[in-house]
Amino acid sequence: MAVSPTAPTVGSLFGDLRARLRAAGLASADLDARLLLAAALDLDAAGLILRAGDPVDTEAAARLEAMAERRLAFEPVHRILGHRAFGEHEFALSPETLEPRPDTEALVDLACEVLKRRGDGPLLFADVGTGTGAIAVCLLSRLPRSRGIAIDLAEGALATAARNAASAGVADRFWPLRADYLSALGRPLDAVVSNPPYIPTADLEGLDPGVRQFDPALALDGGADGLDAYRRIVEEAARLLPAGGELLLEIGRGQEHDVAHLAEAAGFVSMETRSDLAGIVRALWFRRDSHGENEARTA
């Protein structure tokens, strides 16, 4: 396509977009501008620098402007791009999925360590509220003899998760299941893993606009006290996990003791906690009790 001699350059488009995003008060304006410009022009980070003086044709400039308008309306940048990196994979997003966020890596890392300690034999886990499938896919990638039942109530989320499992090369061990928590399962499991909705209903209105307007409410709303999903998961996991079975949960800030109380009342032993990079406890590990022991550890 011919380019006008007065066409904007890669560098000038970046500067203009960054200024607009900063003026809108977006804290990640610089990074967002780079990501959107790279996507609109099909360039990588190095290309943005090396081609900063190159003119941009009207079609590419129009693509960038459409993306910019969405970001200025507070749509998260990764929703605009349609994907987000997590762990060792890139995950497609859809309206019925949350974005996989760095906080959840604490849960995945802890779950992987716990399940590896069970030995090299085959194991079966359930990922409750799978969303994009990020937790299940990462565990299946790191544990080649594992199989995962990926549960979600939203059909669109399950379809997205199945595509992500196929892209990661683990589709043969990834079993999507539309169900309400663990209610549809009858066979014993080795582990249950979940990042459930944990935000109290009254707090939803105070969330960042990008979360409140674009993340699915089903994946956010934890009920009046933020603990509704934990009550269901703990109760149903107690039915499906034999003695020694593992329960691993992501939690919100300050929910550690409440969730531990629910799990221990259902016959689980608190084993370990794991914090995110900000030092906030994000992941809890429980084991199905058989002897009434409590060997709690914190890491």
pLDDT in tens, the chain (299 residues): 555 667 899 999 999 999 999 999 999 999 999 999 999 999 999 999 999 999 999 999 999 999 999 999 999 999 999 999 999 999 999 999 999 999 999 999 999 999 999 988 899 999 999 999 999 999 999 999 999 999 999 999 999 999 999 999 999 999 999 999 999 999 899 999 999 999 999 999 999 999 999 999 999 999 999 999 999 999 999 999 999 999 999 999 999 999 999 999 999 999 999 999 999 999 999 999 875 444 333 44
Residues 130, 190, single domain; the answer is yes
Domain boundary among 50, 73, 96: 73
Contact between residue 212 and residue 219 where contact means Cβ atoms under 8 Å apart = no
Domain boundary among 31, 50, 73: 73
Domain that holds residue 180: 83-288
Residues 36, 180, single domain; the answer is no
77/18 Cα distance (integer angstroms):
13
Q: Enumerate the β-bridge partners of residue 152.
A: 178
Domain boundary among 73, 91, 113: 73
75/64 Cα distance (integer angstroms):
14
Residues 104, 28, single domain; the answer is no
Report the half-sphere exposure of 169 (CA within 13 A, side-chain side).
Answer: 6
